[in-house]
Amino acid sequence: MFSSVVFDMDGVLVDSEERWDAARRAVVAAGGGRWKDEATGAMQGMSAPEWEAYLHDELGLRDAPAAIGRTVVKTMADGYRADLPLLPGAIEVVTRLAAVYPLAVASSANRELIELVLELAGIADRFQAIVSSEEVPRGKPAPDVYLEAARRIETPPEACIAIEDSSNGLRSAHAAGMTVIAVPNAAFPPAPDALDLAGATVAEVAQITPELIASLSPR
């Protein structure tokens, strides 16, 4: 009943949400900005242009948004090259599902970071499409990145399974019309109302199997 699977990346394949938070906090501190308690949650799911503008406009960094973004992305890329924080079972579940379904990535991360993670993990060839939210008009929770992923793999959204960990990611995939499997992020758990949108919830990504997907009903 489902013909394709679309993965989020951060918090699903790599344990990177805390790294994003640390990188942005460091840039704010070095640039004379002021961190806000709500900033972490606010930026989850934002596209690169959106969070770059947020750091500039809301947190007071003086550099141009694009320059802010380059600094954060370089920090993330250097960290991945030194130590890729793959989540347990990530490679195995991608390999398992790729044997049955076309796969895509729909991530808020910059495209260069998505490509770097998949290359370092040795799974780039498992995916038929990669979409960064910087390539679409709006980041998550808007459905744009998931709709574009479905378009690129030539699958109606309602025939796609999405795998997500965060509130805005769950909302984005659900708004696109996909059935969502939630893998709640332990450090930044999704809001209850967002988690309620999932068709199934698992404790870790390794628990997702073709059999689980086959047991779900399209929305």
Instruction: Please give the chain's pLDDT, 219 residues, in tens.
Output: 899 999 999 999 999 989 999 999 999 999 999 999 999 989 988 989 999 999 999 999 999 999 999 999 999 999 999 999 999 999 999 999 999 999 999 999 999 999 999 999 999 999 999 999 999 999 999 999 999 999 999 999 999 999 999 999 999 999 999 999 999 988 889 999 999 999 999 999 999 999 999 999 998
Q: Are residues 96 and 189 in the same domain?
A: yes
* E strands in the chain: 4-7, 103-107, 129-132, 160-164, 179-182, 200-201
Picking from 65, 82, 99, the residue at the C-terminal end of a domain is 82
Note the pLDDT of residue 196: 98
Structurally, the chain folds into a number of domains equal to: 2
42 and 106 belong to one structural domain = no
Same domain membership, residue 120 and residue 25: no
3-state DSSP call for residue 55?
A: helix
Q: Which domain holds residue 68?
A: 17-82
Same domain, 72 and 47: yes
Instruction: Give DSSP secondary structure letters for 163-187.
Output: EE-SHHHHHHHHHTT-EEEE---SS
Residues 110 and 37 in one domain: no
Do 204 and 127 lie in a common domain?
A: yes
**Do 73 and 91 share a domain, yes or no?**
no
Please say which residue of 55, 82, 109 terminates a domain. 82
pLDDT of residue 17: 86
Residue 8 and residue 93 in one domain:
yes
Residues 177, 95 share a domain: yes
**How confident is the model at residue 188, as a pLDDT?**
87
Does one domain contain both 109 and 180? yes
- Can you give the pTM of this predicted structure? 0.91
Single-letter amino acid, residue 203: A
- Residue 191 confidence (pLDDT): 95
* Residue 153 sits in the same domain as residue 171: yes
Question: Radius of gyration (Cα) for the chain, nearest Å?
Answer: 16
- Examine the domain organization and report whether 118 and 193 are in the same domain: yes
